[in-house]
Chain A
Amino acid sequence: QKEVEQDPGPLSVPEGAIVSLNCTYSNSAFQYFMWYRQYSRKGPELLMYTYSSGNKEDGRFTAQVDKSSKYISLFIRDSQPSDSATYLCAISNAGGTSYGKLTFGQGTILTVHP
């Protein structure tokens, strides 16, 4: 079993839709949960991170972690064509230590069409 599983999509939605992206993970030791966004021909960039369980909101984006189910989600409200990108979940159990190794999901390709 992979440490992090993510549905690669692709996902295509109309502008204004609510988008839900999800990952599951297997190791309960993970404490940091991240979402990275990668535009075409660019490297990934950190979009949001959450420590432990709960929700975190940043504008149109909400990250949610359910440690009991080992499930993480990213919700995008009022999606825009500029949100079209690959979204990668990432997890870490080494937050604050020197190693900082992340484990990434496969990435979900999202297209928001006007």
Chain B
Amino acid sequence: DVKVTQSSRYLVKRTGEKVFLECVQDMDHENMFWYRQDPGLGLRLIYFSYDVKMKEKGDIPEGYSVSREKKERFSLILESASTNQTSMYLCASSFSWRSYEQYFGPGTRLTVT
């Protein structure tokens, strides 16, 4: 059974703090993704990675960076958190040969005050 885990379910940070969100998958998936989900806006892709140490910008990368040092782990970094980054963050992974099926983690609800 595929499992995607995220480091925290809920996180509260102050404006200007550096925030790390971690994601781990146990199915040897090549692709990994970070999305944010906001009411009325749906899922928006922040960054994705199709291999270790490889990363590609998604639709809304501003204010974020990512790191993928190991195949199973994909980290999202908010260099200096701002209130407009308050959101639900979802990590996902997929096989390259079955890329239409993404497996999602439970999400991290981040509040920046």
Contacts and interface: CB of A to CB of B under 8 A. Distances in A.
A8 B104 CA distance: 21
A95 B100 CA distance: 6
Interface stretch (B14-22, B36-44, B60-68, B73-81): B36-44
Contact of B48 (A46, A92, A101, A106): A101
Contact of B42 (A95, A98, A101, A105): A105
5 contacts: A44-B90, A95-B99, A98-B31, A102-B102, A106-B42
Interface of A: 6, 8, 32, 34, 41-46, 49, 88, 90, 92, 94-107
Given A43-B107, A92-B99, A99 B42 contact: no
Nearest to A6: B42
Interface in B20-50: 30-31, 33, 35, 40-45, 48, 50
Given A92-B99, A102-B102, 14 more contacts: A34-B100, A43-B4, A44-B90, A45-B103, A46-B101, A49-B100, A94-B99, A99-B56, A99-B99, A100-B94, A100-B99, A102-B99, A103-B45, A106-B42
**Most chain A CB inside 10 Å of its own CB: which residue of B31, B48, B90, B100:** B100
A97 B43 contact: no
B99 to A, nearest CB: 2
B104 A45 contact: yes
B100 A102 contact: yes
A44 B96 contact: no
B56 A8 contact: no
B77 to A, nearest CB: 20
